Structure 1
Amino acid sequence: MTLKATIHSLLFVLLLTLTGCGYRSTPEYQLEEYESRISTVTEVSLPSPTISFPELPSLRKRQYPLPDIRLKALEALNLLECPKLTQLIAHRNNSLGKQMQPSQLLDYEKKLIVQLKDCIHYLQQQNKKPELRAKLETTLQQKESALPAAKWNMLLSNTELPGQLSGFQNLLPLQGDNGRQGTLEALKYLTSYLKGDRFSPPYDQQSLEMQLQQLTASHYSGQLLAAATAITNTLNRVSVMLENSHNICPQGRRTVTIERLNNVFRLFYVDSIQPYMSKVVSEGREWRSVMLSLLLELPAPPDKAMEDYLLAITDSDSDFSIWNQLDKAIIRHTQSWQTVLMQCQMQPGKKP
C-alpha cells in the first residue's frame, strides 16, 4: 500500500471513530442502547414501537379557503376622499400584491379593515355617498368575518411553524443550545401580534417577518415532540421486556442476571435517560402552555385531521396525546422495575 493510500485509510478510520463518539453523545444512542442491553440481559426480543410521531396534515387540511371579496365599490370612490384606502387596494392589485405570502396577506387584511373603517367614518361625517358607504360597510363586515381565517393561514398554512412541527429531524439534543428560547419568544410574540390591530414596532410587518424567521431557524418544537415520542417508545419497550422476563431471581435469590440488569438501569436510565426525560417533560409543559395561548387567538381548525393533530401535540389528557402517553409510559416503566426489584429482594432501602 502506498503512503497516500495508507494516509487515506487512517483518515477514514479516524472519521468513523469520531462519528461513533459523536453518536454516543446523542439521546438516540442512549435510548437505543438502553433497549438493546435490556433485551440482551432478559433474553426477550425487542418489541415493536407503541406509538408514532403524529403526522402533520397536508396543506389542504390545515388551510382555510379565503373568500374572494372584491372591492368594486371603490370604483365610485374619489382618490381624494379616502386616499390611504385606494392606495392600499392599488398595491394589492399590482403584480407583487397578487403574490402575497400568508403573513403579508394578514398584514394587508388588518390594514384594510382599519382603512375601511376610517373611510366609512369620513363619508358619514361629510354626509357623502350613502349608497357607497353602505357597500363599504358590507365589505367591512365580510372582511372582519374572514380575518380569523387569515390569522390561521398565517400560522399554519405558512412554512415557518409547520416546518418547526415536522417530525423529520433529530431528537432534542442532550445539552447545548436547542433553539428553545428563540422559539418560545417567537410564539409569544405571535400571540400578542394576533390580539389587536397594532401596526407600529414591534407589531409591524418587518418585525413579524423577523419572528417568523426565528421559527425557521430552529426545529425545536419538532425535536421536542420527537423526543417525547421516542422516550415513550423506549420506556414501553423496556416495560414489556421486564414484564415478559422469567427466572431473573428464582425463589427471590439474587442472580447475575439481576446484577447486570441493575447495572444497565443505573448506567443508562438513572445517569442519562432520566435527566433527559425530566428535561423533555419540563420543557414540554412550558411549550404546551405557550402553544395553547397562541391557539386561543385562532379559530377552530378547518379540518378534523388538523384538530386531532393539535390535540395530539398540545393536550395532556386525551388518550392519543403524546404527552398523556408519555406520562403513562413513565408510570408503567417505574412499576415494571419495582416489580422486578421486589422479586429479587432489591427494593430501595433493603439491605443485601
Structure 2
Amino acid sequence: MRALLLTALLTSLAVSGCSKPTARDMLETYTERVGNALEQEVETDFDLALSQRPAYPPRRERLLEIPDIREGLIDVLDFRHCDLLYRIAERNTSLAKLAPGSQRLIYELEMLPALRECHDKLANSDDEDLQELDARLKTIIDSKQQSLPRLAWNAIYNSEEMEQQFALGAPPLPQSEQGTTPAPTEALQHFADIASLSQRQNWQTPAFTQNLEKDFEQLYRSSFGAEWLTSLALLTHTLEQTAAAIDRRLERRPICFKQQPNNQARIIRNVFQQFYAGQFQPYLSAVERAGRTWREQQLTITQQLPLPPAAAEFFTAVFDAERPDALWHRYIKARDQHTQNWQRLLRQCGMMPGSQS
C-alpha cells in the first residue's frame, strides 16, 4: 500500500512539475521580483482586474430593429421579367425564415445587385406596366439598401460566433506563439468589406459571399479576441501597479547616491535583465503586435455600421484611445508610464543601457 501511495505521489509531482507556467504566472512572478528588489510591495489583484473588464452586452441589447421588407410589395409573378422567382420563393419558405442572420445577409448580398440589374433592364421600357413595376422596384431597392447596415450589424455582431471574440473568462494568450490561436483576420476583413458596401451604391455581390458561412465558422473556432482582451487587462494591471510601486519607492529615498550602483541596485539590474527584458517585455510586445490588427479591424467594421447604445458603450470602453477609463487607453498610458519609471530608476543608479556602470 505504501508503495502505491509513493508511486501516486511521485506521479503527481512529475505531472505538476512538467506543467508550463502560464502568462499570468509570469506576470505574477515579475511583480513579485520587482517588489522584492525594490523592497516595495507591488500591490496586485489580477482577479479583480479581470472582473472589471467590460462585458459584451446581451443579445437583446445588441439587436437592431429592421423593417420587414417583403417582395410582396411587387406581385411576385412580376419578377418573371428578371428571373428572380426562384430566389424569392426560396427566401419566403418557412425554413428560410428561421435561418440565422448570416443566411439572410448572404441573401441580401446576392439579391440587391440582382434587383438593381432588373431595375436597369426595365428602366428603358416603353411598356406602362413595366414602368410602374420599375418604380415600385426602385422603392424596394432603396429600402433594402437603407436596411443593409442594420442587417449587417445584426448578422455579424449579434451572432454567437462574434460573442466568442469578447467572451469573459478566457485565458491570456500564451507566451509561446506556437500555442496561440490564430486571429480570424480573413473573416474580419470580409466583414469590413461588407460594412463598406453598406455605405455605397451600385456594388456587386462580393466574390466571397457563398463562403461567408466559413468566415463565421472561423470566427467561432477562434478564441483569439477573448484571449487577447484577457492579456490586455492583465498587462494593464501589471503595468499600472508596477509603475506605482516604483514611484512610491523613489519618493521614499534614493536607492543610489551620485549615480553609483550599490548592492540593491545590482539586484534591481538583474531583475530588469532577467524578468523585464527577458520575459515581460517580449510578451508585452507580442501581445500588442498581435492585437493591433484585430482591434483595427473591429474598429473598421463598427465605425461603418449603426450601433445600439449598449454596443457603442462597450466598444468605446474597450477600444477607445482617448477615453481615460477605456481599456486600450489605459494600456497605452500604463505602458508608457511603466517605461518612464524604469528609466528613472535605472538612471538614478547610472544603470541605463549603454552607461559605463
Question: TM-score under structure 1 normalisation?
Answer: 0.83
Residues 311 and 321, structure 1, Cα contact 8 Å, conserved in 2: yes
Larger displacement relative to structure 2 (266-275 or 160-169):
160-169
1:276-315 map, 5 Å = 276-296=283-303, 298-303=304-309, 305-315=310-320
Q: Distance in 2 between matches of 1:230 and 1:46?
A: 13
Q: Which residue of 2 aligns with 1:221?
A: 225
CA shift for structure 1 position 286: 3.2
Residues 171 and 227, structure 1, Cα contact 8 Å, conserved in 2: yes
Q: Distance in 1 between matches of 2:71 and 2:6?
A: 75
The answer on 1:240 being equivalent to 2:244 is: yes
CA shift for structure 1 position 37: 2.3
One-letter code of the match for 1:36? E
Identity value in percent: 27
Larger displacement relative to structure 2 (224-233 or 109-118):
109-118
The answer on 1:117 being equivalent to 2:119 is: no
Is there any run of 5+ residues in structure 2 with no aligned partner, and where?
A: 198-202
The answer on 1:44 being equivalent to 2:41 is: yes
One-letter code of the match for 1:226? T
One-letter code of the match for 1:114? P
Q: When the two structures are aligned, how many residues end up with a matched partner?
A: 342
Quickly say closer, same or farther: Cα 1:189–1:140, change in 2 above 3 A.
Answer: closer
SS in 2 for 1:53: coil
Q: Residues 171-206 of structure 1: CA distance to partner in whole angstroms, max 9, x if unpaired?
A: 1222234234x5222222333345455447x4232x
Q: Which residue of 2 aligns with 1:172?
A: 173
CA shift for structure 1 position 293: 3.4
Larger displacement relative to structure 2 (133-142 or 243-252):
243-252
Q: Residues 52-100 of structure 1: CA distance to partner in whole angstroms, max 9, x if unpaired?
A: 433222223332111122333344635644442x322322222210112
Larger displacement relative to structure 2 (75-84 or 158-167):
75-84
Residues 92 and 98, structure 1, Cα contact 8 Å, conserved in 2: yes
Quickly say closer, same or farther: Cα 1:221–1:211, change in 2 above 3 A.
Answer: same
Q: Distance in 1 between matches of 2:147 and 2:226?
A: 30
CA shift for structure 1 position 250: 6.9
Q: Residues 187-226 of structure 1: CA distance to partner in whole angstroms, max 9, x if unpaired?
A: 22333345455447x4232x11112212222122232232
One-letter code of the match for 2:267? R
One-letter code of the match for 1:280? V
Q: Residues 232-283 of structure 1: CA distance to partner in whole angstroms, max 9, x if unpaired?
A: 2111111111222245637567554333333222211110111121222333
Residues 48 and 237, structure 1, Cα contact 8 Å, conserved in 2: no
Residues 113 and 204, structure 2, Cα contact 8 Å, conserved in 1: no
The answer on 1:331 being equivalent to 2:339 is: no
The answer on 1:28 being equivalent to 2:24 is: yes
Q: Distance in 2 between matches of 1:348 and 1:121?
A: 69
Q: Distance in 1 between matches of 2:336 and 2:76?
A: 69
Larger displacement relative to structure 2 (98-107 or 126-135):
126-135
The answer on 1:145 being equivalent to 2:146 is: yes
Q: Distance in 2 between matches of 1:163 and 1:130?
A: 48
One-letter code of the match for 2:187? A
One-letter code of the match for 1:172? L
1:123-162 map, 5 Å = 124=123, 125=125, 126-128=127-129, 130-162=131-163
SS in 2 for 1:67: coil
Residues 109 and 209, structure 2, Cα contact 8 Å, conserved in 1: no
Larger displacement relative to structure 2 (210-219 or 239-248):
239-248
Q: Distance in 2 between matches of 1:198 and 1:131?
A: 25
SS in 1 for 2:306: coil
Q: Residues 21-64 of structure 1: CA distance to partner in whole angstroms, max 9, x if unpaired?
A: x12xx321111111122233424251456964332222233321
The answer on 1:11 being equivalent to 2:7 is: no
Larger displacement relative to structure 2 (249-258 or 34-43):
249-258
Q: Distance in 1 between matches of 2:163 and 2:105?
A: 17
One-letter code of the match for 1:141? D
Residues 248 and 257, structure 1, Cα contact 8 Å, conserved in 2: no
One-letter code of the match for 2:29? E
SS in 2 for 1:128: helix
One-letter code of the match for 1:224? W
